[in-house]
Structure 1
Protein backbone atom coordinates (compact mmCIF):
# COMPACT_ATOMS: atom_id res chain seq x y z
CA UNK A 1 0.00 0.00 0.00
CA UNK A 2 1.38 3.38 -1.03
CA UNK A 3 1.41 5.72 1.96
CA UNK A 4 1.87 9.45 2.42
CA UNK A 5 5.35 8.71 3.81
CA UNK A 6 6.33 6.90 0.61
CA UNK A 7 5.15 9.84 -1.50
CA UNK A 8 7.14 12.21 0.70
CA UNK A 9 10.25 10.07 0.35
CA UNK A 10 9.86 9.85 -3.44
CA UNK A 11 9.38 13.62 -3.72
CA UNK A 12 12.20 14.46 -1.30
CA UNK A 13 9.97 16.50 1.01
CA UNK A 14 8.33 16.07 4.41
CA UNK A 15 4.94 14.43 4.94
CA UNK A 16 3.41 17.72 6.06
CA UNK A 17 4.44 19.30 2.75
CA UNK A 18 2.78 16.49 0.79
CA UNK A 19 -0.36 16.99 2.88
CA UNK A 20 -0.40 20.73 2.17
CA UNK A 21 0.01 20.16 -1.56
CA UNK A 22 -2.75 17.56 -1.74
CA UNK A 23 -5.12 19.76 0.24
CA UNK A 24 -3.98 22.81 -1.74
CA UNK A 25 -3.70 24.63 1.56
CA UNK A 26 -0.72 26.40 3.10
CA UNK A 27 2.60 27.48 1.61
CA UNK A 28 4.69 25.54 -0.94
CA UNK A 29 6.50 26.43 -4.13
CA UNK A 30 5.44 25.55 -7.66
CA UNK A 31 8.44 23.24 -8.03
CA UNK A 32 7.58 21.47 -4.78
CA UNK A 33 4.04 20.93 -5.99
CA UNK A 34 5.28 19.52 -9.28
CA UNK A 35 7.60 17.07 -7.47
CA UNK A 36 4.83 15.93 -5.14
CA UNK A 37 2.25 15.48 -7.89
CA UNK A 38 4.76 13.60 -10.06
CA UNK A 39 5.40 11.21 -7.16
CA UNK A 40 1.66 10.83 -6.53
CA UNK A 41 1.02 9.94 -10.17
CA UNK A 42 4.01 7.62 -10.48
CA UNK A 43 3.20 5.70 -7.30
CA UNK A 44 -0.58 5.68 -7.78
CA UNK A 45 -1.22 7.22 -4.38
CA UNK A 46 -4.82 7.77 -3.23
CA UNK A 47 -5.25 10.10 -0.23
CA UNK A 48 -6.85 8.64 2.90
CA UNK A 49 -9.78 11.04 3.27
CA UNK A 50 -11.08 9.33 6.39
CA UNK A 51 -7.78 9.86 8.19
CA UNK A 52 -7.90 13.49 7.10
CA UNK A 53 -11.40 13.81 8.48
CA UNK A 54 -10.43 12.38 11.87
CA UNK A 55 -7.45 14.71 12.07
CA UNK A 56 -9.44 17.83 11.22
CA UNK A 57 -12.42 19.67 12.61
CA UNK A 58 -14.83 18.54 9.92
CA UNK A 59 -15.41 16.38 6.90
CA UNK A 60 -15.91 17.37 3.28
CA UNK A 61 -18.21 14.42 2.68
CA UNK A 62 -21.86 15.18 1.98
CA UNK A 63 -24.20 12.20 2.20
CA UNK A 64 -27.30 12.04 0.02
CA UNK A 65 -29.87 9.42 1.01
CA UNK A 66 -32.41 9.23 -1.83
CA UNK A 67 -35.43 7.01 -2.52
CA UNK A 68 -34.59 5.88 -6.06
CA UNK A 69 -32.17 6.06 -8.97
CA UNK A 70 -34.66 4.74 -11.53
CA UNK A 71 -36.73 7.89 -10.98
CA UNK A 72 -34.94 10.65 -12.90
CA UNK A 73 -36.14 13.22 -10.36
CA UNK A 74 -33.49 12.12 -7.88
CA UNK A 75 -30.80 11.75 -10.54
CA UNK A 76 -31.44 15.41 -11.42
CA UNK A 77 -31.14 16.44 -7.76
CA UNK A 78 -27.84 14.54 -7.50
CA UNK A 79 -26.57 16.23 -10.65
CA UNK A 80 -27.35 19.66 -9.27
CA UNK A 81 -25.83 18.99 -5.86
CA UNK A 82 -22.68 17.19 -7.00
CA UNK A 83 -21.69 19.98 -9.39
CA UNK A 84 -21.72 22.62 -6.64
CA UNK A 85 -20.06 20.33 -4.12
CA UNK A 86 -17.22 19.43 -6.50
CA UNK A 87 -16.59 23.10 -7.26
CA UNK A 88 -16.12 23.65 -3.54
CA UNK A 89 -13.90 20.61 -2.87
CA UNK A 90 -16.68 18.60 -1.21
CA UNK A 91 -17.38 14.97 -2.07
CA UNK A 92 -20.92 13.67 -2.58
CA UNK A 93 -21.69 10.09 -1.58
CA UNK A 94 -25.15 8.58 -1.91
CA UNK A 95 -27.28 5.59 -1.02
CA UNK A 96 -30.76 4.47 -2.10
CA UNK A 97 -33.66 3.64 0.24
CA UNK A 98 -36.21 2.23 -2.27
CA UNK A 99 -38.79 4.38 -0.44
CA UNK A 100 -38.37 2.24 2.69
CA UNK A 101 -38.24 4.40 5.88
CA UNK A 102 -36.58 1.63 7.90
CA UNK A 103 -33.92 1.26 5.24
CA UNK A 104 -33.47 5.04 5.25
CA UNK A 105 -32.77 4.90 8.99
CA UNK A 106 -30.14 2.19 8.55
CA UNK A 107 -28.47 4.04 5.68
CA UNK A 108 -28.43 7.36 7.54
CA UNK A 109 -26.76 5.63 10.48
CA UNK A 110 -24.18 4.08 8.16
CA UNK A 111 -23.48 7.42 6.50
CA UNK A 112 -23.14 9.22 9.83
CA UNK A 113 -20.41 6.78 10.82
CA UNK A 114 -18.24 8.51 8.18
CA UNK A 115 -18.81 11.86 9.92
CA UNK A 116 -20.18 13.82 6.93
CA UNK A 117 -20.52 17.56 7.09
CA UNK A 118 -24.15 17.25 5.94
CA UNK A 119 -26.85 14.71 5.18
CA UNK A 120 -29.43 15.37 2.46
CA UNK A 121 -32.71 13.43 2.42
CA UNK A 122 -35.93 13.51 0.43
CA UNK A 123 -39.00 14.84 2.20
CA UNK A 124 -39.94 15.39 5.84
CA UNK A 125 -41.27 11.94 6.75
CA UNK A 126 -38.64 9.88 8.60
CA UNK A 127 -38.71 7.31 11.38
CA UNK A 128 -38.26 8.50 14.96
CA UNK A 129 -34.89 6.73 14.93
CA UNK A 130 -33.72 8.65 11.87
CA UNK A 131 -34.72 11.98 13.40
CA UNK A 132 -33.01 11.09 16.68
CA UNK A 133 -29.65 10.16 15.17
CA UNK A 134 -29.68 13.15 12.83
CA UNK A 135 -30.30 15.55 15.71
CA UNK A 136 -27.57 13.89 17.76
CA UNK A 137 -25.03 13.88 14.92
CA UNK A 138 -24.13 17.57 14.95
CA UNK A 139 -24.01 17.66 11.13
CA UNK A 140 -26.19 19.78 8.86
CA UNK A 141 -29.44 18.23 7.62
CA UNK A 142 -31.07 19.24 4.34
CA UNK A 143 -34.53 17.94 3.46
CA UNK A 144 -35.29 18.12 -0.26
CA UNK A 145 -38.26 18.43 -2.63
CA UNK A 146 -40.87 19.05 0.05
CA UNK A 147 -42.06 22.04 2.06
CA UNK A 148 -45.24 20.53 3.54
CA UNK A 149 -43.96 19.86 7.04
CA UNK A 150 -41.46 21.04 9.64
CA UNK A 151 -37.80 21.07 8.69
CA UNK A 152 -35.11 19.63 10.97
CA UNK A 153 -32.59 22.23 9.78
CA UNK A 154 -32.50 23.27 6.11
CA UNK A 155 -35.23 22.56 3.56
CA UNK A 156 -35.17 23.24 -0.18
CA UNK A 157 -37.95 22.52 -2.65
CA UNK A 158 -41.61 23.35 -3.18
CA UNK A 159 -45.04 22.46 -1.84
CA UNK A 160 -46.39 19.22 -3.30
CA UNK A 161 -49.79 19.99 -1.83
CA UNK A 162 -49.82 23.32 -3.69
CA UNK A 163 -48.69 21.58 -6.90
CA UNK A 164 -51.62 19.17 -6.63
CA UNK A 165 -54.01 22.04 -5.99
CA UNK A 166 -52.69 23.95 -9.02
CA UNK A 167 -53.14 20.86 -11.19
CA UNK A 168 -56.78 20.47 -10.11
CA UNK A 169 -57.47 24.16 -10.61
CA UNK A 170 -56.08 23.98 -14.15
CA UNK A 171 -58.32 21.05 -15.08
CA UNK A 172 -61.37 22.72 -13.56
CA UNK A 173 -60.71 25.95 -15.44
CA UNK A 174 -60.51 23.92 -18.65
CA UNK A 175 -64.01 22.63 -17.98
CA UNK A 176 -63.29 19.03 -16.96
CA UNK A 177 -65.74 17.62 -14.44
CA UNK A 178 -65.48 13.81 -14.53
CA UNK A 179 -61.95 13.45 -13.26
CA UNK A 180 -60.07 10.34 -12.18
CA UNK A 181 -56.65 9.59 -10.71
CA UNK A 182 -53.91 7.06 -11.47
CA UNK A 183 -51.11 6.85 -8.92
CA UNK A 184 -48.54 4.68 -7.21
CA UNK A 185 -47.95 3.62 -3.60
CA UNK A 186 -48.95 6.61 -1.42
CA UNK A 187 -47.67 4.96 1.76
CA UNK A 188 -44.07 5.00 0.56
CA UNK A 189 -44.06 8.04 -1.73
CA UNK A 190 -45.42 10.56 0.74
CA UNK A 191 -44.81 13.47 -1.61
CA UNK A 192 -47.12 11.92 -4.22
CA UNK A 193 -49.69 11.43 -1.45
CA UNK A 194 -49.48 15.13 -0.57
CA UNK A 195 -50.00 16.09 -4.21
CA UNK A 196 -53.08 13.89 -4.41
CA UNK A 197 -54.42 15.38 -1.17
CA UNK A 198 -54.04 18.92 -2.53
CA UNK A 199 -55.63 17.86 -5.82
CA UNK A 200 -58.62 16.21 -4.19
CA UNK A 201 -59.17 19.06 -1.72
CA UNK A 202 -59.30 21.58 -4.57
CA UNK A 203 -61.84 19.49 -6.47
CA UNK A 204 -63.93 19.19 -3.32
CA UNK A 205 -63.82 22.92 -2.67
CA UNK A 206 -65.27 23.42 -6.17
CA UNK A 207 -68.03 20.88 -5.50
CA UNK A 208 -66.53 18.36 -7.93
CA UNK A 209 -65.92 14.91 -6.42
CA UNK A 210 -63.14 12.68 -7.70
CA UNK A 211 -65.02 10.11 -9.78
CA UNK A 212 -62.60 7.16 -9.47
CA UNK A 213 -59.00 6.33 -8.66
CA UNK A 214 -56.50 3.56 -9.41
CA UNK A 215 -53.46 3.11 -7.19
CA UNK A 216 -50.64 0.75 -8.10
CA UNK A 217 -49.13 -0.84 -5.00
CA UNK A 218 -45.55 -0.53 -6.22
CA UNK A 219 -43.29 2.15 -7.66
CA UNK A 220 -44.19 4.53 -10.45
CA UNK A 221 -43.29 3.57 -14.02
CA UNK A 222 -44.51 4.06 -17.57
CA UNK A 223 -45.77 0.48 -17.62
CA UNK A 224 -47.73 0.91 -14.38
CA UNK A 225 -49.24 4.14 -15.66
CA UNK A 226 -50.43 2.41 -18.82
CA UNK A 227 -51.95 -0.57 -17.02
CA UNK A 228 -53.40 1.70 -14.34
CA UNK A 229 -55.27 3.83 -16.86
CA UNK A 230 -56.51 0.70 -18.60
CA UNK A 231 -58.02 -0.61 -15.37
CA UNK A 232 -59.47 2.79 -14.47
CA UNK A 233 -61.20 3.21 -17.84
CA UNK A 234 -62.51 -0.36 -17.74
CA UNK A 235 -64.41 0.58 -14.57
CA UNK A 236 -65.24 4.18 -15.42
CA UNK A 237 -65.18 4.71 -19.19
CA UNK A 238 -66.89 8.12 -19.14
CA UNK A 239 -64.07 10.07 -17.46
CA UNK A 240 -63.05 13.24 -19.28
CA UNK A 241 -59.71 13.82 -17.50
CA UNK A 242 -57.15 11.84 -15.48
CA UNK A 243 -54.54 13.21 -13.09
CA UNK A 244 -51.41 11.07 -12.66
CA UNK A 245 -49.06 10.92 -9.70
CA UNK A 246 -46.11 11.83 -11.96
CA UNK A 247 -44.98 12.08 -15.57
CA UNK A 248 -43.80 8.46 -15.76
CA UNK A 249 -47.33 7.31 -14.98
CA UNK A 250 -48.87 9.95 -17.27
CA UNK A 251 -46.71 8.88 -20.20
CA UNK A 252 -47.90 5.32 -19.70
CA UNK A 253 -51.46 6.63 -19.85
CA UNK A 254 -50.58 8.55 -23.01
CA UNK A 255 -49.29 5.38 -24.67
CA UNK A 256 -52.45 3.51 -23.67
CA UNK A 257 -54.55 6.17 -25.37
CA UNK A 258 -52.42 6.03 -28.53
CA UNK A 259 -52.68 2.25 -28.66
CA UNK A 260 -56.46 2.26 -28.28
CA UNK A 261 -57.30 5.24 -30.46
CA UNK A 262 -58.50 7.46 -27.59
CA UNK A 263 -58.30 11.10 -28.78
CA UNK A 264 -56.29 13.36 -26.45
CA UNK A 265 -57.57 15.70 -25.08
CA UNK A 266 -60.85 15.67 -27.06
CA UNK A 267 -61.97 12.40 -25.46
CA UNK A 268 -59.65 12.22 -22.45
CA UNK A 269 -57.32 14.82 -20.92
CA UNK A 270 -54.10 13.73 -19.19
CA UNK A 271 -52.12 15.68 -16.59
CA UNK A 272 -48.81 14.69 -14.96
CA UNK A 273 -46.21 16.03 -12.56
CA UNK A 274 -42.45 16.77 -12.74
CA UNK A 275 -42.02 18.21 -16.24
CA UNK A 276 -39.65 15.52 -17.55
CA UNK A 277 -37.85 16.20 -20.82
CA UNK A 278 -39.50 13.25 -22.56
CA UNK A 279 -42.92 14.76 -21.88
CA UNK A 280 -41.97 17.81 -23.95
CA UNK A 281 -41.05 15.82 -27.07
CA UNK A 282 -44.04 13.47 -27.33
CA UNK A 283 -46.31 14.16 -30.35
CA UNK A 284 -48.52 16.09 -27.94
CA UNK A 285 -46.43 17.70 -25.17
CA UNK A 286 -47.61 16.56 -21.77
CA UNK A 287 -49.61 18.94 -19.58
CA UNK A 288 -47.82 18.89 -16.25
CA UNK A 289 -46.10 20.68 -13.38
CA UNK A 290 -42.38 21.34 -13.94
CA UNK A 291 -40.39 20.99 -10.73
CA UNK A 292 -36.98 22.60 -10.00
CA UNK A 293 -35.06 19.34 -9.49
CA UNK A 294 -31.54 20.38 -10.54
CA UNK A 295 -31.95 23.76 -8.84
CA UNK A 296 -33.01 22.01 -5.63
CA UNK A 297 -29.73 20.10 -5.55
CA UNK A 298 -27.73 23.20 -6.40
CA UNK A 299 -29.29 25.41 -3.75
CA UNK A 300 -29.03 22.67 -1.12
CA UNK A 301 -25.32 22.25 -1.85
CA UNK A 302 -24.74 26.01 -1.76
CA UNK A 303 -26.35 26.23 1.68
CA UNK A 304 -24.15 23.40 2.97
CA UNK A 305 -20.96 24.88 1.56
CA UNK A 306 -21.81 28.29 3.04
CA UNK A 307 -22.80 26.73 6.39
CA UNK A 308 -25.95 28.83 6.13
CA UNK A 309 -28.32 29.31 9.08
CA UNK A 310 -31.37 27.06 9.30
CA UNK A 311 -33.97 28.12 6.74
CA UNK A 312 -36.60 26.99 4.27
CA UNK A 313 -36.11 27.85 0.59
CA UNK A 314 -39.20 27.69 -1.63
CA UNK A 315 -38.18 27.35 -5.29
CA UNK A 316 -41.75 27.08 -6.50
CA UNK A 317 -42.92 25.19 -9.60
CA UNK A 318 -44.18 25.97 -13.09
CA UNK A 319 -47.44 24.79 -14.63
CA UNK A 320 -46.92 23.62 -18.22
CA UNK A 321 -50.15 23.78 -20.24
CA UNK A 322 -48.86 21.32 -22.84
CA UNK A 323 -51.31 19.75 -25.28
CA UNK A 324 -52.82 16.81 -23.40
CA UNK A 325 -55.28 18.81 -21.31
Structure 2
Protein backbone atom coordinates (compact mmCIF):
# COMPACT_ATOMS: atom_id res chain seq x y z
CA UNK A 1 0.00 0.00 0.00
CA UNK A 2 1.47 3.41 -0.94
CA UNK A 3 2.70 5.50 1.99
CA UNK A 4 0.54 8.45 2.95
CA UNK A 5 1.91 10.80 5.59
CA UNK A 6 -0.06 11.43 8.75
CA UNK A 7 -2.41 14.38 8.33
CA UNK A 8 -1.55 15.74 11.79
CA UNK A 9 2.24 15.57 11.37
CA UNK A 10 2.79 19.29 11.99
CA UNK A 11 0.55 19.73 15.00
CA UNK A 12 2.94 19.07 17.89
CA UNK A 13 6.55 19.42 16.67
CA UNK A 14 8.13 22.86 17.29
CA UNK A 15 10.06 24.31 14.33
CA UNK A 16 12.89 26.69 15.15
CA UNK A 17 14.57 29.28 12.96
CA UNK A 18 18.15 28.32 12.14
CA UNK A 19 20.28 31.33 12.97
CA UNK A 20 19.64 34.38 10.81
CA UNK A 21 18.17 32.42 7.92
CA UNK A 22 14.78 31.55 6.53
CA UNK A 23 15.21 27.87 7.36
CA UNK A 24 13.32 26.32 10.25
CA UNK A 25 14.36 22.98 11.70
CA UNK A 26 12.28 20.60 13.80
CA UNK A 27 13.37 20.54 17.43
CA UNK A 28 14.05 16.82 16.93
CA UNK A 29 15.92 15.63 13.83
CA UNK A 30 16.69 12.04 12.84
CA UNK A 31 20.31 11.03 12.26
CA UNK A 32 21.20 8.13 9.99
CA UNK A 33 24.72 7.47 11.27
CA UNK A 34 23.80 4.02 12.64
CA UNK A 35 21.10 1.49 11.76
CA UNK A 36 20.42 2.60 8.19
CA UNK A 37 23.24 0.77 6.39
CA UNK A 38 23.07 -2.39 4.33
CA UNK A 39 23.75 -4.49 7.46
CA UNK A 40 20.30 -3.65 8.85
CA UNK A 41 16.86 -4.77 7.64
CA UNK A 42 15.53 -2.25 5.15
CA UNK A 43 11.96 -2.66 6.41
CA UNK A 44 13.01 -1.43 9.86
CA UNK A 45 14.91 1.53 8.42
CA UNK A 46 11.87 2.41 6.33
CA UNK A 47 9.53 2.12 9.29
CA UNK A 48 11.70 4.45 11.38
CA UNK A 49 12.01 7.15 8.72
CA UNK A 50 8.30 7.14 7.87
CA UNK A 51 7.27 7.18 11.54
CA UNK A 52 9.67 10.07 12.13
CA UNK A 53 8.04 12.06 9.33
CA UNK A 54 4.58 11.21 10.63
CA UNK A 55 5.66 12.69 13.99
CA UNK A 56 6.81 15.96 12.45
CA UNK A 57 10.51 15.20 11.96
CA UNK A 58 11.24 16.84 8.63
CA UNK A 59 15.05 16.86 8.87
CA UNK A 60 17.11 13.75 8.09
CA UNK A 61 20.83 14.02 8.73
CA UNK A 62 23.26 11.94 6.65
CA UNK A 63 26.90 11.93 5.57
CA UNK A 64 28.78 10.33 2.70
CA UNK A 65 30.38 7.68 4.95
CA UNK A 66 27.33 6.63 6.97
CA UNK A 67 26.64 2.93 6.67
CA UNK A 68 28.12 0.44 6.79
CA UNK A 69 29.27 0.23 4.07
CA UNK A 70 30.16 3.89 3.43
CA UNK A 71 27.40 5.38 1.33
CA UNK A 72 24.81 2.77 2.33
CA UNK A 73 22.71 5.11 4.47
CA UNK A 74 22.39 7.51 1.54
CA UNK A 75 21.39 4.62 -0.69
CA UNK A 76 18.71 3.71 1.84
CA UNK A 77 17.47 7.28 1.84
CA UNK A 78 17.52 7.29 -1.95
CA UNK A 79 15.27 4.24 -2.05
CA UNK A 80 12.90 5.80 0.49
CA UNK A 81 12.75 9.02 -1.49
CA UNK A 82 11.95 7.13 -4.67
CA UNK A 83 9.43 4.65 -3.29
CA UNK A 84 7.73 6.53 -0.44
CA UNK A 85 8.71 10.17 -0.05
CA UNK A 86 8.93 11.56 -3.58
CA UNK A 87 5.64 13.43 -3.19
CA UNK A 88 6.93 15.01 0.04
CA UNK A 89 10.38 16.14 -1.11
CA UNK A 90 9.59 19.83 -0.62
CA UNK A 91 8.56 19.13 2.98
CA UNK A 92 11.92 17.51 3.80
CA UNK A 93 15.30 18.83 4.86
CA UNK A 94 17.97 16.39 3.68
CA UNK A 95 21.52 17.11 4.82
CA UNK A 96 24.80 15.43 3.99
CA UNK A 97 28.48 15.96 4.74
CA UNK A 98 32.00 15.21 3.60
CA UNK A 99 35.20 15.31 5.61
CA UNK A 100 35.98 11.83 6.89
CA UNK A 101 37.63 8.95 5.04
CA UNK A 102 35.43 7.86 2.14
CA UNK A 103 37.62 6.34 -0.56
CA UNK A 104 41.24 5.32 -1.05
CA UNK A 105 43.99 7.68 -2.05
CA UNK A 106 44.76 11.31 -1.20
CA UNK A 107 41.48 12.78 -2.50
CA UNK A 108 38.94 10.94 -0.37
CA UNK A 109 39.34 12.57 3.03
CA UNK A 110 39.34 15.91 4.89
CA UNK A 111 38.52 19.24 3.24
CA UNK A 112 40.01 19.80 -0.19
CA UNK A 113 37.91 21.30 -2.96
CA UNK A 114 38.55 18.13 -4.95
CA UNK A 115 37.08 15.92 -2.23
CA UNK A 116 34.10 18.02 -1.14
CA UNK A 117 32.71 18.65 -4.61
CA UNK A 118 33.26 15.07 -5.78
CA UNK A 119 31.67 13.74 -2.60
CA UNK A 120 28.64 16.00 -2.93
CA UNK A 121 28.12 14.74 -6.48
CA UNK A 122 28.32 11.14 -5.26
CA UNK A 123 25.85 11.80 -2.42
CA UNK A 124 23.33 13.31 -4.82
CA UNK A 125 23.65 10.31 -7.11
CA UNK A 126 23.15 7.82 -4.25
CA UNK A 127 20.02 9.62 -3.07
CA UNK A 128 18.67 10.40 -6.52
CA UNK A 129 18.47 14.11 -5.71
CA UNK A 130 19.19 17.27 -7.65
CA UNK A 131 20.23 19.02 -4.43
CA UNK A 132 20.55 18.54 -0.69
CA UNK A 133 19.17 21.16 1.64
CA UNK A 134 22.32 21.47 3.77
CA UNK A 135 25.84 20.37 2.88
CA UNK A 136 28.48 20.37 5.61
CA UNK A 137 32.21 20.30 5.92
CA UNK A 138 32.19 17.36 8.34
CA UNK A 139 35.37 18.32 10.18
CA UNK A 140 38.14 20.89 9.96
CA UNK A 141 41.21 20.06 7.88
CA UNK A 142 44.51 21.00 9.56
CA UNK A 143 46.35 21.11 6.22
CA UNK A 144 43.93 22.52 3.64
CA UNK A 145 43.46 26.32 3.85
CA UNK A 146 40.05 27.08 5.33
CA UNK A 147 39.49 29.45 2.41
CA UNK A 148 39.62 26.46 0.04
CA UNK A 149 37.20 24.36 2.10
CA UNK A 150 34.72 27.20 2.50
CA UNK A 151 35.18 28.12 -1.16
CA UNK A 152 34.12 24.59 -2.07
CA UNK A 153 30.95 24.95 0.03
CA UNK A 154 30.27 28.27 -1.66
CA UNK A 155 30.65 26.64 -5.09
CA UNK A 156 28.36 23.75 -4.13
CA UNK A 157 25.63 26.21 -3.12
CA UNK A 158 26.12 28.42 -6.19
CA UNK A 159 25.95 25.37 -8.45
CA UNK A 160 22.56 24.50 -6.96
CA UNK A 161 23.78 21.26 -5.39
CA UNK A 162 22.91 22.50 -1.89
CA UNK A 163 20.63 25.23 -0.59
CA UNK A 164 22.63 26.00 2.55
CA UNK A 165 26.19 25.55 3.84
CA UNK A 166 27.21 24.25 7.24
CA UNK A 167 30.18 23.04 9.27
CA UNK A 168 30.59 20.34 11.89
CA UNK A 169 32.99 19.87 14.82
CA UNK A 170 34.86 23.12 14.19
CA UNK A 171 36.34 24.86 17.24
CA UNK A 172 35.17 28.32 18.24
CA UNK A 173 38.18 29.91 16.58
CA UNK A 174 37.81 27.86 13.39
CA UNK A 175 34.09 28.61 13.29
CA UNK A 176 34.69 32.36 13.48
CA UNK A 177 37.10 32.20 10.53
CA UNK A 178 34.86 29.90 8.49
CA UNK A 179 31.84 32.11 9.07
CA UNK A 180 33.72 35.22 7.95
CA UNK A 181 35.10 33.57 4.81
CA UNK A 182 31.66 32.33 3.76
CA UNK A 183 30.02 35.66 4.55
CA UNK A 184 32.58 37.45 2.40
CA UNK A 185 31.88 34.98 -0.42
CA UNK A 186 28.17 35.73 -0.18
CA UNK A 187 27.10 32.28 1.03
CA UNK A 188 26.48 32.55 4.77
CA UNK A 189 27.21 29.58 7.01
CA UNK A 190 23.84 29.03 8.63
CA UNK A 191 24.54 26.07 10.92
CA UNK A 192 27.15 24.32 13.03
CA UNK A 193 26.80 20.68 14.05
CA UNK A 194 28.76 19.95 17.24
CA UNK A 195 28.57 17.14 19.76
CA UNK A 196 26.65 18.36 22.80
CA UNK A 197 24.97 16.79 25.81
CA UNK A 198 24.86 17.04 29.57
CA UNK A 199 28.08 15.03 29.59
CA UNK A 200 29.76 16.87 26.70
CA UNK A 201 29.50 20.63 27.15
CA UNK A 202 32.54 21.89 25.24
CA UNK A 203 30.52 24.29 23.10
CA UNK A 204 29.70 26.39 26.16
CA UNK A 205 33.34 27.51 26.37
CA UNK A 206 33.33 29.93 23.47
CA UNK A 207 31.52 28.31 20.56
CA UNK A 208 28.02 29.38 21.58
CA UNK A 209 29.24 32.99 21.75
CA UNK A 210 30.71 32.72 18.25
CA UNK A 211 27.50 31.22 16.90
CA UNK A 212 25.45 34.01 18.42
CA UNK A 213 27.73 36.71 17.01
CA UNK A 214 27.79 35.05 13.57
CA UNK A 215 24.01 34.55 13.68
CA UNK A 216 24.38 30.81 13.07
CA UNK A 217 22.09 28.04 14.19
CA UNK A 218 23.30 24.83 15.82
CA UNK A 219 22.26 21.20 15.81
CA UNK A 220 23.68 18.76 18.34
CA UNK A 221 24.78 15.22 17.60
CA UNK A 222 25.04 12.66 20.40
CA UNK A 223 22.67 14.62 22.69
CA UNK A 224 22.10 11.38 24.64
CA UNK A 225 25.84 10.68 25.01
CA UNK A 226 25.74 7.48 22.95
CA UNK A 227 22.88 6.18 25.09
CA UNK A 228 24.28 7.04 28.52
CA UNK A 229 21.50 9.57 29.05
CA UNK A 230 18.73 7.00 28.66
CA UNK A 231 17.31 4.29 30.90
CA UNK A 232 19.48 1.72 29.11
CA UNK A 233 22.19 1.65 31.80
CA UNK A 234 20.29 2.47 34.98
CA UNK A 235 20.74 -1.08 36.24
CA UNK A 236 24.14 -1.89 34.78
CA UNK A 237 25.38 -2.80 31.32
CA UNK A 238 23.10 -5.14 29.33
CA UNK A 239 24.92 -7.84 27.37
CA UNK A 240 23.42 -6.65 24.09
CA UNK A 241 24.16 -2.95 24.65
CA UNK A 242 26.54 -0.68 22.79
CA UNK A 243 28.79 -0.37 25.85
CA UNK A 244 29.16 -4.15 26.06
CA UNK A 245 30.35 -4.32 22.44
CA UNK A 246 34.15 -4.54 22.50
CA UNK A 247 34.24 -3.11 18.97
CA UNK A 248 32.58 0.11 20.09
CA UNK A 249 35.13 2.70 21.12
CA UNK A 250 32.69 5.58 21.67
CA UNK A 251 31.01 4.08 24.72
CA UNK A 252 32.70 1.63 27.11
CA UNK A 253 31.77 -0.13 30.33
CA UNK A 254 34.24 2.11 32.18
CA UNK A 255 32.38 5.21 30.97
CA UNK A 256 29.10 3.76 32.16
CA UNK A 257 30.53 2.97 35.59
CA UNK A 258 31.99 6.47 35.88
CA UNK A 259 28.64 8.13 35.20
CA UNK A 260 26.24 5.68 36.83
CA UNK A 261 25.55 7.69 40.00
CA UNK A 262 24.90 10.80 37.93
CA UNK A 263 22.61 8.92 35.55
CA UNK A 264 20.50 7.64 38.44
CA UNK A 265 20.28 11.09 40.06
CA UNK A 266 19.31 12.72 36.76
CA UNK A 267 16.69 10.04 36.20
CA UNK A 268 15.02 10.97 39.49
CA UNK A 269 14.59 14.55 38.26
CA UNK A 270 13.25 13.31 34.92
CA UNK A 271 10.65 11.14 36.67
CA UNK A 272 9.54 14.09 38.76
CA UNK A 273 9.08 16.05 35.51
CA UNK A 274 6.98 13.24 34.05
CA UNK A 275 9.66 12.42 31.48
CA UNK A 276 12.09 9.65 30.69
CA UNK A 277 15.78 10.45 31.19
CA UNK A 278 16.20 10.60 27.41
CA UNK A 279 13.33 13.07 27.03
CA UNK A 280 14.68 15.34 29.75
CA UNK A 281 18.19 15.19 28.31
CA UNK A 282 16.93 16.27 24.88
CA UNK A 283 14.85 19.06 26.41
CA UNK A 284 17.89 20.25 28.37
CA UNK A 285 20.08 20.38 25.23
CA UNK A 286 17.37 22.27 23.34
CA UNK A 287 17.84 25.20 25.69
CA UNK A 288 21.16 25.84 23.93
CA UNK A 289 20.88 24.47 20.37
CA UNK A 290 18.36 24.89 17.57
CA UNK A 291 17.75 21.15 17.08
CA UNK A 292 19.01 17.83 18.37
CA UNK A 293 19.82 14.77 16.26
CA UNK A 294 18.54 11.51 17.67
CA UNK A 295 19.65 8.07 16.60
CA UNK A 296 17.36 5.07 16.70
CA UNK A 297 17.29 1.35 16.11
CA UNK A 298 13.51 0.93 16.39
CA UNK A 299 10.35 2.94 15.99
CA UNK A 300 9.53 3.04 19.71
CA UNK A 301 12.75 4.96 20.43
CA UNK A 302 11.70 7.68 17.98
CA UNK A 303 8.25 7.88 19.53
CA UNK A 304 9.74 8.21 23.02
CA UNK A 305 12.30 10.83 22.03
CA UNK A 306 9.78 12.98 20.18
CA UNK A 307 7.82 13.03 23.43
CA UNK A 308 10.49 15.38 24.79
CA UNK A 309 8.78 18.33 23.07
CA UNK A 310 5.78 17.99 25.40
CA UNK A 311 7.84 19.56 28.21
CA UNK A 312 10.76 21.75 27.15
CA UNK A 313 10.61 24.20 30.06
CA UNK A 314 12.77 23.95 33.18
CA UNK A 315 12.39 25.74 36.48
CA UNK A 316 15.38 27.49 37.97
CA UNK A 317 15.38 24.90 40.75
CA UNK A 318 15.47 21.99 38.29
CA UNK A 319 18.37 23.54 36.38
CA UNK A 320 20.27 24.13 39.62
CA UNK A 321 19.75 20.51 40.71
CA UNK A 322 20.91 19.23 37.33
CA UNK A 323 23.97 21.46 37.46
CA UNK A 324 24.94 20.19 40.90
CA UNK A 325 24.71 16.60 39.66
CA UNK A 326 26.80 17.35 36.58
CA UNK A 327 29.47 19.05 38.66
CA UNK A 328 29.95 15.88 40.70
CA UNK A 329 32.02 14.21 37.93
Provide the TM-score with structure 1 as the length reference: 0.29
Provide the TM-score with structure 2 as the length reference: 0.29
